[in-house]
Structures are given as C-alpha cells and as structure tokens.
Amino acid sequence: MTVAAMNSTPAIQRLLVPHDFSETAEHAMGYAIELAQRFGGSITVVHAYDTPSYGYPDAFVATPEVAQQIERIAIEGLAQVAKRAREKGVQVETVLWRGAPWVEIAALADQIRADLVVMGTHGRRGVAQALLGSVAEKVVRTAPCPVLTVRSPRAPRKIATSRIEPADERS
C-alpha cells in the first residue's frame, strides 16, 4: 500500500442500512443519517425477511395471506423510516427483499456497490444466539464492503468479568 493510499479518506457515498423495525435498527439508522449528512452520501434502507411457513410432513408451505400481510406491513414501515431520513435532508431509497436476511443484505450491498453497511446488532448471546444466529455477524463475514454494527443504547455494557490487580498487590 502506498503512503498516498494510507492517507486518503475512503469515500462513503452509498450507505446500506438493513432495517427490521426494531429500536436497535432505528439507532443504527441515526448513525447512517449522520454519516450521509457529513459525507454527502445517500442511504438505501432494506428490509429482508424470510416468509414464515407451516410444516407438513413432506413440504413447508407459507400461506399467501401471511406473505401479503408481511409485505404490506414492511412497505409501510420502510416508508416511515425513509420519511424520517428525508426530513433530515438525506436522499433515501427503500428495498424490500424476501429471503435469508444476511444473504439478501450482502447481495444488495454488492449490487448497489455500497461503501458501508450500517446495521444494528441485538447482541444476543448463549442459547438465543445459537438458535437464532446473528444476522449482523454473517453480514460482517460476507459483505463486500465494511460493516459498522451499532448496539442498542439499552444494551448492557458488560466488558470484563474479572478484576486485574497489579503484581505488587498480590503478595
């Protein structure tokens, strides 16, 4: 890497914000709006979702009514998120994709050539994380660009579980 490349600030023009309509996603959206304002960038807000399905012995089937209701609610939610950002002078577009959220987010980041993904993380641990997985973790691993993860302002701030004492106090 050249000295000129190390001293240059990366352009942050296209931000992608995955949004699940949670408080954490809204908190991440605030970071994205601030970055877009500072760098003159635009935001693409995406809601990616898996359609719930009912299990039958040989197949999984989602009812069309459930799928339509999810889509309608998501479109309304995206419109509200975009409206709040536009009120702050930021150019915003919305995308609704059906599929595994982490796969769709990484694919959209590539498609729009995002400079940065800004997303909330719920900070699940233990069994909840093992069962539900972490969309943010998978996006960090697979996205074609840097990913800024933002924890909820209500998330516990537990950093260390033990106290480290100076060597001279242990005698």
Residue 22 resides in a domain? yes
Per-residue pLDDT for 168 more than 90? no
Q: Determine the pLDDT at residue 128.
A: 46
Please state the rounded mean pLDDT for residues 141-147: 96
Please state the rounded mean pLDDT for residues 13-31: 95
Residue 117 resides in a domain? yes
- Number of domain units in the chain: 1
Residue 102 resides in a domain? yes
Residue 71 resides in a domain? yes
CATH number of the domain that 70 lies in?
Answer: 3.40.50.620
pTM: 0.79
Residue 66 resides in a domain? yes
Q: How far apart are CA 120 and CA 168, in angstroms?
A: 43
How do residues 80-136 score in pLDDT, each as one tens digit? Answer: 999 999 999 999 999 999 999 999 999 999 999 999 999 998 765 554 444 445 899
Q: How far apart are CA 37 and CA 50, in angstroms?
A: 32
Residue 167 resides in a domain? no
Residue 43 resides in a domain? yes
Residue 163 resides in a domain? no
| Pick from 148, 32, 40: nearest CA to 82 | 32
Q: Determine the pLDDT at residue 155.
A: 64
Q: How far apart are CA 166 and CA 72, in angstroms?
A: 59
Tell me which residue range forms the domain holding 116.
11-153
How do residues 67-84 score in pLDDT, each as one tens digit? Answer: 888 899 999 999 999 999
